[in-house]
Amino acid sequence: MGSPVLEFSKVTLLFDEVVGLENVSFRLEAGDSLVILGVAGSGKSVLLKVALGLYRPDAGHVYLFGEQIDGMREKELHGLRRRVGMLFQESALFDSLTVGENVAYPLVNQSGGAPDDPEGIESRVREALRFVELEGALEKLPSELSGGMRRRVGIARAIVNGPPLVLYDSPTAGLDPITAHTIMTLILKERDASEVASVLVTHRLQNGHLLANFRYHPASEELRPAPRDEDGRGSRTRFLVLRQGRLVFEGDQEDLNRQQDSYLRNFGTLSR
Amino acid sequence: MSGHAIAALFQRPHYWSDVWLQMDIIGVGSLPIVALTGFFSGAVMALQMFDTLATFGATAKTGTAVSFTLVLQMGPVLTALMMAGRNSAGMASELGSMAVTEQIDAMRALGTDPIKKLVAPRLLATMVVLPLLTAIADFIGMFGGFVISYFVIRLSPTQYWTSTYRDLRVDDVVHGLTKPLVFAFAVALVGCYSGLSTRGGTQGVGRSTTQAVVAASVMILALNLLMTQIFVRG
């Protein structure tokens, strides 16, 4: 087993007296997926921000691509963050930039604001927008887009520079079921096409189920059940469940379904 | 944050297009309000000073009184206060909205330092345009004083304009234009800090905006007192 792309070791984060995370440990290997479940306020989004170094833990260590980031200066973190794609809960697109400029931002930023190859950047932006089926929205402003379209642009921005790790913060929150399925299809498409490691924060149980049990089928452009191995366990997807900042479960979906704890049963019932 | 923002002025990358954009928003956008403020301050000062000077038989010094007060005190302070009301508030609400919609976090996540990208261009732009706007306000204020002197007080144009510039020393002009350079820090840094530290959704944005205007205004008045003390007492 190589060095994990992301590792938390006994991470604790406090906001004044309120616990954000408490003694959380886990590892994520390259190409694997992690589904983080929990009720609102359980620390799911906080965990993603700690993973990116946006919040610094009060105790414990965080390793990103094998490098310990909890003691790093902001300047040192910038290089590592460019290797991570992040879809924020409300997309967090820059209001003053067009869709094309938003998606190009990570590429332009890597070149210090003065890109050597603007044509190459434009072609990659178009490719990323084609991936999320929004090539026609290149010149639109975020305010002209629907919620689902904004998430798709957010995904395009997260994957445009081909990061080996993508973090998704509640990508389907507030969306109708059909749009939510489209977003999940794009997430699986990116995972399966590029073999990237994915961390999905959600409280929509169907999302974890899709990530664990389905794969993107390029020919039909739809999701199909993943083939299962001899143990009947088919995926490289693990589930973490958070409760008030504490990690109360880690395992695969079968393990989660077997839990008897009333809190955990909330997250296992759908896939039974 | 202030130290980081000042250091960012000298570090790469420099976001020059953002600096030009901010100079346009802060400078060109503030011209009408600054011009109006300057005009009415100069006019009212001429009116008030004439009344006082008349008791000493020194109405010919109306221009001197207007130019001194404008260049050394009213021009820099009123222009900076207008800028605090317009631009500190604008910066606080814009950056505050970005903070509560996670755009600042997204910027950091995409490997950009928000201080360099958002604060440094606003600080640099304010440092360049505030002294220029002050000079414009001073001149328009003197013109406002002239309008009152000519049409109401009936001083001759030569009498007014000669007294306006004759007693003004280079030192006075330098002091008058040094103040806005210092006030620029209060306008830009207070606005940006209030915006970046916004918490609590749209209500928080409103709070930050109010806080930015109040804090920047008080800071400008306090800095003016301090600098006047330094310039007067040497």
Contact B111 A81 (CB under 8 A): yes
Distance CA A217, CA A189 (A): 8
Lowest average pLDDT, out of A157-161, A202-206, B40-44, B190-194, goes to A202-206
Reported residue count of chain B is: 234
pLDDT in tens, B13-40: 778 888 999 999 999 999 999 999 999 9
Chain A contact for B21, CB < 8 A? no
Nearest-10 Cα torsion for B61, B62, B67, B73: 110
**Chain A contact present for B113, CB below 8 A:** yes
Interchain CB contact of B163 with A (< 8 Å): no
Domains of chain A, with CATH numbers?
A: 1-83+165-174+182-187+197-272 (3.40.50.300), 93-162 (no CATH)
Distance from CA of B99 to the nearest CA of A (A): 10
Alpha-carbon distance A189 to A172, whole Å?
A: 16
Is A174 part of the contact surface with chain B (CB cutoff 8 Å)? no
Distance from CA of A188 to the nearest CA of B (A): 22
Structural domain range at position B199: 2-233
Interface size A-B, in CB pairs within 8 Å, comes to: 59
Structure tokens at A227: 């083939």
Q: Is B102 on the interface with A (CB under 8 A)?
A: yes
Exposed, middle or buried: residue A120 (CB in 10 Å: 0-12, 13-18, 19+)? exposed
Overall pTM > 0.90: no
Mean pLDDT of chain A: 87
Does residue A6 contact residue A29 with C-beta atoms inside 8 Å?
no
Number of domains in chain B: 1
pLDDT at A173: 85
- Closest by Cβ to A113, choosing from B13, B97, B103: B13
CB-based contact B12 A112, cutoff 8 Å:
yes
> Which residues from chain A sit within 8 angstroms of residue B19, using beta carbons?
none
Q: Per-residue pLDDT for B173 more than 70? A: yes
Three-state secondary structure along chain B?
CHHHHHHHCCCCCCCHHHHHHHHHHHHHHHHHHHHHHHHHHHHHHHHHHHHHHHHCCCHHHHHHHHHHHHHHHHHHHHHHHHHHHHHHHHHHHHHHHHHHCCHHHHHHHCCCCHHHHHHHHHHHHHHHHHHHHHHHHHHHHHHHHHHHHHHHHCCCHHHHHHHHHHCCCHHHHHHHHHHHHHHHHHHHHHHHHHHHCCCCHHHHHHHHHHHHHHHHHHHHHHHHHHHHHHHHHC
Looking at beta carbons, which residues of chain A come within 8 Å of B108? 52, 54, 74, 81
**A30-87 pLDDT per residue, tens:** 989 999 999 888 999 999 999 999 999 999 999 999 999 998 988 889 888 889 999 9
- Which of A:61-90 have CB within 8 Å of B? 74-75, 78-79, 81-82, 84, 86, 88-90
What is the C-alpha separation between B153 and A198, in angstroms, rounded?
78
Cis peptide before B157 (omega within 30 of 0): no
